[in-house]
Chain A
Amino acid sequence: GAVVSQHPSWVICKSGTSVKIECRSLDFQATTMFWYRQFPKQSLMLMATSNEGSKATYEQGVEKDKFLINHASLTLSTLTVTSAHPEDSSFYICSAQQGLYEQYFGPGTRLTVT
């Protein structure tokens, strides 16, 4: 089956620093990838839609200058959390779309900002 990986799986950073999270589709090409965020005991919330070779589309309330998304190839999208603050601590999950229907999710990245 289709496999999506994320790196790192967890990261701790200091307030004010930036963190980059990678999302890779390992055995298929994904023209579209999605980034979600999940706070403890809550459901996943879509942050942005990433299309290869074009600018990401951000959901309302998500700061595009804070959450930088790059989708430079059909197998890689990156999310950079700039000037991270403790309130950015969350579980970040990407998904990659294969074909018309199925989305496959990465294992998630747990970010803790101290």
Chain B
Amino acid sequence: DAKTTQPTSMDCAEGRAANLPCNHSTISGNEYVYWYRQIHSQGPQYIIHGLKNNETNEMASLIITEDRKSSTLILPHATLRDTAVYYCISQPLTGRRALTFGSGTRLQVQP
């Protein structure tokens, strides 16, 4: 699987948008970008995924650059409950299905 790099930590004010970047410069054409988050002492939670188009769901938006070498996860109105470690993962459409977790970004939402 392609490697991803993320900042170790970020802070965000409650009510503001949280923009979490991810670099995946070696991503292959058949690999999706997935975002998961893990709140302390819980299992990871699926957020969103995309291939090349921007995606939006009830939790977040995913912006993927045209060259697909990087992406940004946007939480439009961060709350204290969004404090978690966010993982950006690239995964091929076929073949190995297990997720390879990097170190992720620890997002701290400040009151």
- Real binding pair: yes
Taking Cβ atoms with an 8 Å cutoff, the residues of A that contact B are: 4, 6, 32, 34, 36, 43-46, 49, 91, 93, 95, 97, 100-108, 110
A43 close to B41 (CB less than 8 A): no
Q: Are B104 and A101 closer than 8 Å at their CB atoms?
A: no
Task: Offer 14 A-B interface pairs, CB within 8 angstroms, sorted by A.
Answer: A36-B101, A44-B38, A45-B101, A46-B98, A46-B100, A49-B97, A49-B98, A100-B93, A101-B32, A102-B49, A103-B99, A105-B46, A107-B43, A108-B42
For B102, the chain A residues whose CB sits under 8 A away are: 43
B41 / chain A contacts, CB cutoff of 8 Å: 91, 108, 110
Give, as a whole number of angstroms, the nearest-CB distance from A39 to chain B: 12
Q: Which 9 A-B pairs have the closest CB atoms?
A: A105-B43, A43-B101, A44-B101, A105-B44, A108-B43, A46-B98, A107-B43, A93-B43, A106-B43
Query: Interface size (B, Cβ < 8 Å)?
Result: 20
**Distance, CA A107 to CA B32, complexed state (A):** 24
Give B49-62 as 1s and 0s: 1 = Cβ < 8 Å from A's Cβ atoms.
10000000000000
- CA of A31 to CA of B10, assembled, Å: 37
Q: Across the interface, do A107 and B93 meet the contact criterion of CB distance under 8 Å?
A: no
CB <8 Å contact, B97 and A32: yes
